[in-house]
Structure 1
Amino acid sequence: MLVSVGDHRATGLGVVISARAAPIYSLRVPNCKMVLGFAFPSRVDLQWRRCHPTSSHPDGASMNSRFALLFASIVSLYSSAAGQTIQPTGPIQQVHTGFQFTEGPAASDDGTLYFTDIPNTAIHRLSKTGELSLLTDQSNHANGLWPLSSTQLLACEMDGAVVMHDLSGDSPHRIVLADSFAGKRFNACNDLVVDHHGGLYFTDPQYRAPEPWPQTERCVYYVANFETDPQVTRLTGDINAPNGIGLSPDGKTLYVIPSMQAEMLAYDVLGPGKIGSSRVLCTVKQVEGETARGGDGMAIDVEGNLYLTTHLGIQIFSPKGEARGIVAFPEIPANVTFGGPEFKTMYVTARKSLYSVEMPIEGFREFPAN
């Protein structure tokens, strides 16, 4: 079957959609340098091919990207027989663009959204009224962020430390919480999650680590009493590039997203900073031709569903590991969080941009530190 969508004269974009029997969709978005894959119950395969050159608006956003936004906002990418598909309730919006590599989105209680631009060593903040400002351009390649309050922001620095920024003054005051284990600096602290015992878990893979690696293993750590008397414990060192990390709403399960394997991991939390053996929670869908690419960041909603950033988009899984859908974006997502007035706005950092989309389920408002 061959269907011609036609020549979009106003945009200069022509698209041909072809369909054939196959279990996985592949979606090629011109100018976005990405291929998205997703499965539908109908089991057909789609390919988008550019037929005519695209035009660009003065703001630099090509009409190809705008066309992709339209399609991404209405497509639910795969469903599971075991549960209902979760899909956006509104269009995907490009909030800001022009960065180098965005990461670490995190929303505070006052409605402020923070995110990082790693190559520029920057932390940006977006007010609840939509005003963008630079918090700092000396973040030591900050990656994952965690607002404790409107005046306290935790950050994983890829230069080897977990820190807290005191935002109560005119400029941020950086306080080091942990920067070493067994006398050696961390490799490249990546992402973190705070529990309700006054501790935090964080991942420390090899990305941006100096050679040779200061820590010979790529680990997950726990920092107890990080605001008063930080104590660091190594929890596991057998994960292939641990990256994103999160806790279930009841705090009983720790999730870790490796970047170099398709299997996502879960651990029973036995106590503060104590976890059981790993188990495979789910296996993420792969880009065609790849077999061992995992995820990056993650968010969790109030029902315990997990939203994992992958090269195919945001892959959604139930707490039992059942596939709930994929939401595709014009750029490859790196990290995700919930925010907005009702906490149903999903914010996604994706390469050079920040995106938002409304979702049907409220995001989990993570544990505050005691």
Structure 2
Amino acid sequence: MRSLLIFLCFCSLSAFAQTSQLFDAGAKPKLVSNQFEFTEGPAVDRQGNIYFTDQPHNKIWKYDTNGRLSVFMDKAGRANGTYFDTKGNLIACADEHNQLWQISPQKKVKVLLEDYEGKLFNGPNDLWIDKYDNIYFTDPYFQRDYWTRNKSEMSGEKVFLLRKGQNKPILLDSMVKPNGIVGTPDGKHLFVADIGAGKIYKYDIKPDGNITNKRSFFTETADGITLDEQGNLYLAGKGVTIINPKGEKISHIDISEPWTANLCFGGKGRRTLFITASKAVYVIRMKVRGVE
């Protein structure tokens, strides 16, 4: 019994030490605003400004590095996940018509994709773009009340790659319900959250952009995901769960909302963790930088 207590105390101290390297002890997420219907898809530009979506209200919002909120775009294609490419375009999973959009800084929209082999996508959900502007995205089926259809045209729920300059996506993998997705900055590894299976998968990325060596990295039901400079993976869902590069849980951030949908690092120095959670958005100051 004594040895068990010593082991538990050691584990507790170890977890505290790892947490203290990420953010200050006692730090709590700060509410920015709760004026939304359902927040999602945060993405950060080169300056550290953060853009996020309020899908039911069909808007993309901007939270700038000075903490100011403003509407960036109305009639935003019911955008869900978003990500900036290297040219400053905001790429959006616009699932109003099951499309992938490119939104220029001047808010000009170009439809990049709307089908796979003649069949409508389920509804592009989240994405990650590598340093070469190759787009990796997930396509789960979540029935929307603004759709006229009530069933999928696809033979499953999948992960795709759209190579730079191409107009036909490449099927990478099938899952129960793929959702959050992020890759490492060196372009060697990809993480995908299968919210339907309650699993986080890790892949190796081959030189041609395809993926291989799929393995289970962590077991948890997660929505959006992101990475910090130490290689820790942040899972949105019931608050924020933080996993180290070995696939071990090292910390958790409680969020006082029914669901935490997504997150990204932004702000000056990329040390602000920005969290979209139900009708609200939160921030917490971190000791580590984000790498997206």
For the aligned pair, the TM-score class normalised by the smaller chain equals 0.7 to 0.9
Equivalences, count: 274
Question: What TM-score does the superposition give when structure 1 sets the normalisation length?
Answer: 0.70
Q: Superposed, which structure 2 residues align to 1:61-210 within 5 Å? A: 84-85=18-19, 87-89=22-24, 90-148=27-85, 151-159=88-96, 160-168=98-106, 172-208=107-143, 210=149
Is residue 324 of structure 1 aligned with residue 260 of structure 2?
no
CA distance in 2, matches of 1:273, 1:95: 37
Aligned position for 2:270:
343
1:81-111 deviation line (CA, Å, top 9, x unaligned): 7x83355324321011110000011111123
RMSD, matched Cα? 2.0
Deviations 1:1-27 (A, max 9, x none): xxxxxxxxxxxxxxxxxxxxxxxxxxx
Find the structure with the greater CA-based Rg.
1
In the TM superposition, residue 283 of structure 1 has moved relative to its aligned partner by 1.6
- Offset, 1:273: 2.9
1:362: which partner in 2? Answer: 289
Q: Which amino acid aligns with 1:236?
A: D
The TM-score, its normalising length taken from structure 2, stands at 0.88
Between the aligned partners of 1:120 and 1:151, the Cα distance in structure 2 is 24
Q: Could you report, residue by residue, the CA deviation over 1:49-94 in whole angstroms, capped at 9, with x for unpaired residues?
A: xxxxxxxxxxxxxxxxxxxxxxxxxxxxx7867x833553243210
| Counterpart code for 1:179 | E
Which residue identity lines up with residue 138 of structure 1 in the other structure?
A: K
CA positional deviation for 1:151: 4.6
The 1:92–1:328 alpha-carbon spacing in structure 2 relative to 1, beyond 3 Å, is same
Correspondence for 1:28:
none
Contact 2:89 2:103 in 1 (8 A): yes
CA contact (8 A) 1:235 1:273 kept: no
State the alpha-carbon separation in 1 of the partners of residues 87 and 169 from structure 2. Answer: 26
**Residues 190 and 101 of structure 1, relative CA distance in 2, 3 Å threshold:** same
- Percent identity between matched residues is 33
- Is 1:265 aligned to 2:220, yes or no? no
Gap runs ≥5 in structure 2: 1-7
Residue in 2 that maps onto 1:305: 232
Question: For residues 182 and 326 of structure 1, do their structure 2 counterparts lie closer, same or farther at Cα, with a shift above 3 Å needed?
Answer: same
- Summarize the Cα distance change of 1:273–1:325 in structure 2 as closer, same or farther, 3 Å threshold: same
Amino acid corresponding to residue 220 of structure 1 in structure 2 = V
Cα 1:149/1:235, change in 2 over 3 Å? closer
Instruction: Determine if contact 2:47/2:268 at 8 Å carries over to the other structure.
Output: no
* Long gaps (5+) in structure 1: 1-40, 43-77, 285-293
Q: Aligned equivalents of 1:202 and 1:103: distance in 2?
A: 15
Confirm whether residue 283 of structure 1 aligns to residue 211 of structure 2.
Answer: no
Q: Secondary structure at the match of 1:135?
A: strand
Out of 198, 207, 217, the residue aligned to residue 156 of structure 2 is 217
**1:198 CA displacement:** 2.5
